[in-house]
Amino acid sequence: MLGLDPIVIALRIPALLIAITFHEFAHARMAYYFGDTTAHRQGRMNLNPLSHLDPIGTIMILLVGFGWAKPVPINPYNFNQYRKGLRWVSFAGPLVNFILGFLSLLFFSVLISRGITDGLFLQFVMVLTQLNILLGIFNLIPIPPLDGSKILMSLLPDAYLGHYRTIEQYAPLILLLLIITRALGVIIFPLFNLVLTLFSTIIGFIPGL
């Protein structure tokens, strides 16, 4: 599991840049697909890490392993299919993180199978795996402004949308309390272990690994 070891924190920096860059690019690209060009027009549909860093979210990822990036600007009212667009644009970021996490773990397994069992690069690949899985899970939590809240909104009947939107003003406080009380970790880390086990099981079926 990710810890506070100085080497691990240093390895998180390039892993973080990869994870959040692809996460936000996926949001922007999916929004563009559904007809919203806002991120594209504002220069956010790119793979430049500096475009996507959020100071507080970055510090959180470096210290505790999960956090957030600077959200790409999206106007869901531009989507050619509002609910479907909102759902897939929101899910695109976490989905890319899970794909990157799986591919990183697969690469890690290949390295191990080739006799590479030590070294900073191997450690970096595992940090990249862990960080992507944690980022994917964290962003699926249905608390505004996380991606999971928008996915939930796209699924709720219209009658409940107003009630759900009323809690948005309290969402930052709720999220802060979950972090301070470490309740967020109680939710995230068991799911992390579940996803990691699932990925490892799938990879275990690949001959030679």
Active site positions, annotated: 24
Q: Which two tokens stand for residue 120?
A: 């900073």
What angle separates helix 171-180 from helix 183-204, to the nearest 10 degrees? 80
Beta strand residue intervals within 47-161, DSSP E:
none
For residue 105, the 8-state DSSP code is H
Which residues have C-beta within 8 Å of that of residue 150, sequence separation ≥ 6? 86, 87, 89, 90
Nearest to 145 by CA among 167, 129, 125: 167
The C-alpha angle with vertex 141 and arms to 158 and 178, in degrees rounded to 5, equals 120
* Contact (CB, 8 A) for 76 and 36: yes
Q: ω into residue 71 within 30 of 0, thus cis?
A: no
